[in-house]
């Protein structure tokens, strides 16, 4: 810099420019640039773990650019997590909003392509299995930008789920695959991924790693913070261990009236014995109002023991999870959090990607079957699960991922 100020004639300036370029190049080499794509609630939450690791320990090595597709946009489905979890404001917001799968994904694809072309990132970082994940994977792979997929390898083996198609596509577009569970590694191996591939990694020779779950990083980090900052238990007048927490949002539960009806019939019966708190995803509320028979809706609304509330913040959710006696859910994230906080879980789906928790006996698959839900409830009331061995890492998955992004970059 000093040299640039002192010399001003054209000959020296030429020399100075090349010097400036070499200083600039060496800075770029030291600073890895990642473009993180988020869009839906669980991705914003997962991204908080990596952003926190970067801020804490890699601020001089990794530059993170955040692109929010706008798939989720209500304050309580998006902004609340940025504010509460200290996620930097998004550099891009595509504001795609809700639409059909094709239109929503197409709008994301276009916007992500522009951002990639402008930012020229070393890595595109993707989370989970939503349409935002799918759009990111396809945009990046066509531009030759390597993809790092966090939450790789999960499978429901049910290709009627939009998420199953999204996650398979994303895994097969990835250069680095970070699996939260050993099951994920086994699934990838069965699909032909070489588990012991060595660097240099590429899309044709991807690196596959069992690194633990960034959601466990978050669960550990925010557990005490939630106790300090959230008063939701008092506000809702709940008692520790005296209520059930339930979430429902999967399209095959919300959009199939018989299934939604069956789940709510079970909740009404359980609600006669124990309070059920239901932070409702906007999709579920919409469908409940549209499809449920009026008598059922009236019964839910008039019940003193069923508490329909809007989606809650992450800290509030942690408090509800930690203080519930049992959790009923079709959410992937909430299933795991029930395990992190040692709660029995009734899975309102025909299958799960998190098979370990079922094998452990702390979760039961009940689908949308009223009888199975009630019998799982009785089972756990009589015999609560006793042990929750660690399955999802040591709370440092995000640090492992940062190290791998850095060490794999020269080889890309
Ligand atoms: C999406 C993901 C799903 C994930 C879930 C997490 C896909 C295909 N699905 O499902 O894998 O588990 O997010 O929550 O990507 N809505 C609002 N406000 C919002 C967002 C959505 O009112 O901020 C309503 C709209 O009516 C919308 C509906 O919810 O049509 C569904 O939203 P969408 O993002 O398409 O799917 P999710 O069911 O949220
Ligand atoms: N969550 C939240 N508030 C809510 C419901 C869920 O903060 O009202 C959190 C939950 O703790 C978990 C994540 O959202 O971390 C799970 O997201 P979601 O259930 O929407 O999607 P999935 O995990 O099924 O993809």
Per the DSSP assignment, residues forming a β-bridge with 3 are none
Residues with CB under 6 A from ligand 2: 41-42, 45, 247, 249, 279, 311-312, 314, 317, 331-334, 337
Q: Is the dihedral of CA 157, 350, 131, 79 positive or negative?
A: negative
Ligand at minimal distance from the CA of 97 is 1
The residue from 149, 172, 210, 249 that is catalytic is: 249
Range from 26-30, 140-144, 331-335, 363-367 carrying the lowest mean pLDDT: 26-30
pLDDT band at residue 29, thresholds of 50, 70 and 90? low
What's the whole-number mean pLDDT along residues 110-131?
A: 98
Is residue 214 within 8 Å of residue 50, measured between CB atoms?
yes
Is 249 catalytic? The answer is: yes
What's the whole-number mean pLDDT along residues 85-97?
A: 98
What's the whole-number mean pLDDT along residues 5-24?
A: 38
How far, in Å, is the centroid of ligand 1 from the Cα of 321? 22
Is residue 258 within 8 Å of residue 296, measured between CB atoms?
no
| pLDDT for 292 | 74
| pLDDT for 296 | 83
How far, in Å, is the centroid of ligand 2 from the Cα of 335? 10
| pLDDT for 297 | 81
- 43: tokens are 């991705």
Mean pLDDT of the chain: 92
What's the whole-number mean pLDDT along residues 194-207?
A: 97
Per the DSSP assignment, residues forming a β-bridge with 275 are 243
Q: What are the pLDDT digits (tens) for 31-80?
A: 999 999 999 999 999 999 999 999 999 999 999 999 999 999 999 999 99
What share of the chain in percent tops pLDDT 90?
88
Q: Classify residue 193 as left (phi > 0), alpha (psi -120 to 50) or beta.
A: beta
CA gyration radius for the chain? 23
pTM of the model: 0.93
pLDDT band at residue 30, thresholds of 50, 70 and 90? low
pLDDT band at residue 265, thresholds of 50, 70 and 90? very high
pLDDT band at residue 218, thresholds of 50, 70 and 90? very high
Residues with CB under 6 A from ligand 1: 40-42, 71-74, 77, 98, 129-131, 162-163, 249, 251, 281-283, 286
pLDDT band at residue 355, thresholds of 50, 70 and 90? very high
| pLDDT for 19 | 44
Give the separation between CA 184 and CA 197, rounded to whole angstroms: 16
Supply the residue whose CA is at minimum distance from atom 9 of ligand 2: 314
What share of the chain in percent tops pLDDT 70?
92
């Amino acid at each position: 810099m000093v040299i640039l100020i002192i010399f001003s004639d054209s000959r020296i300036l030429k020399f100075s420019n090349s010097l400036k370029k070499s200083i600039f190049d060496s800075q770029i080499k030291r600073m890895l640039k990642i473009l993180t794509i988020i869009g839906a609630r669980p991705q914003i939450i997962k991204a908080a773990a990596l952003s926190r690791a970067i801020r804490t320990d890699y601020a001089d090595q990794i530059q993170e650019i955040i692109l929010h597709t706008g798939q989720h946009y209500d304050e309580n489905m998006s902004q609340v997590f940025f504010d509460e979890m200290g996620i930097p404001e998004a550099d891009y917001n595509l504001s795609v909003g809700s639409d059909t799968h094709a239109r929503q994904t197409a709008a994301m694809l276009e916007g992500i392509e522009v951002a990639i072309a402008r930012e020229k990132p070393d890595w595109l970082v993707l989370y989970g299995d939503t349409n935002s994940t799918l759009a990111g994977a396809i945009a990046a792979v066509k531009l030759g930008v390597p993809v790092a997929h966090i939450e790789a390898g999960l499978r429901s083996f049910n290709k009627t789920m939009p998420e199953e198609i999204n996650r398979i596509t994303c895994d097969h577009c990835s250069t680095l695959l970070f699996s939260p569970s050993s099951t994920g590694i086994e699934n990838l191996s069965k699909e032909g991924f070489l588990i012991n591939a060595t660097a240099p990694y590429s899309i044709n020779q991807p690196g596959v790693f069992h690194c633990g779950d960034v959601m466990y990083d978050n669960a550990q980090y925010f557990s005490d913070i939630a106790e300090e900052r959230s008063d939701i238990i008092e506000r809702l007048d709940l008692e520790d261990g005296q209520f059930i927490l339930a979430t429902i949002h999967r399209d095959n539960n919300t959009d199939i009236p018989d299934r939604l009806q069956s789940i709510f019939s079970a909740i009404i019966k359980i609600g006669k014995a124990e309070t059920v708190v239901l932070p409702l995803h906007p999709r579920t509320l919409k469908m409940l109002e549209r499809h449920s028979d009026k008598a059922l809706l009236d019964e839910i609304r008039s019940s003193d023991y069923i508490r329909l509330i809007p989606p809650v913040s992450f800290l509030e959710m942690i408090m509800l999870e930690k203080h519930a006696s049992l959790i009923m859910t079709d959410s992937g994230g909430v299933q795991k959090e029930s395990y992190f906080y040692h709660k029995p879980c009734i899975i309102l789906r025909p299958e799960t990607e998190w098979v370990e928790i079922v094998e452990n006996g702390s979760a039961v698959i009940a689908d949308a079957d009223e009888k199975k839900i009630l019998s799982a409830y009785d089972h756990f009331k009589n015999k609560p699960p006793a042990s929750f061995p660690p399955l999802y890492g040591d709370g440092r998955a995000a640090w492992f991922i940062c190290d791998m992004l850095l060490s794999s970059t020269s080889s890309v």
